[in-house]
Amino acid sequence: MMATTVDLFASALHFHPDGDVRAVERQMTSSGSGAWQIATFHVETDADVHADYWEMHPEAEEAVCCLAGGIRLYFRPDRPGGAEDMVRLQAGTAAIVPRGRWHRLELEAPSDLMSITLRHGTRLEKRTDAH
């Protein structure tokens, strides 16, 4: 098998339980394949990271990696009226989002991001508190 190059900003990599790795179209919700997805994004605005949506992965943790730029990672409060927790990520840093924890991103600057998770069961929910 010949090694091929993959544009990580145009495709995602799926790591399958049987050991296969495939370049595929990025998916924000479940693929049903059982594969872990590594996806890399160049983002310019909050709209590029869907800042007006909460996201949750029920079947796995997620590594959110800031490769360049800077972002804020917010966690939805555990109870109504509670404050959001926030983690600031600068270039070269990552945070682990716990399985089943609702989260969202906002940009501090145009950024290059990488997400690593099992997308099966991923849910998106529109923020009702968005400004």
| Closest to 39 (Cα-Cα) out of 51, 49, 47 | 49
Q: What is the pLDDT of residue 120?
A: 87
Q: What is the pLDDT of residue 30?
A: 65
Is the separation of the CB atoms in 50 and 124 below 8 Å?
A: yes
Task: Domain ranges for the chain, please list them.
Answer: 12-126
Output phi, psi for 70, to 5 deg.
Answer: -165, 145
Q: Give 125's pLDDT tier (boundaries 50, 70, 90).
A: very high
Sign of CA dihedral 100, 131, 49, 123: positive
Looking at residues 90-110, what average pLDDT do you find? Answer: 97
Let me know if domain 12-126 sits in CATH 3.40.50.1820.
no
Q: What is the DSSP string of the chain?
A: -------TTT-EEEE-TTS-EEEE---SS--SS--EEEEEEEE-SGGGGTTTEEEE-SSS-EEEEEEEEEEEEEE--SSTTPPPEEEEEETTEEEEEPTT--EEEEEEEEEEEEEEEE-TT-EEEE-SS--
Asked if pLDDT for residue 128 goes beyond 80, the answer is: yes
pTM: 0.90
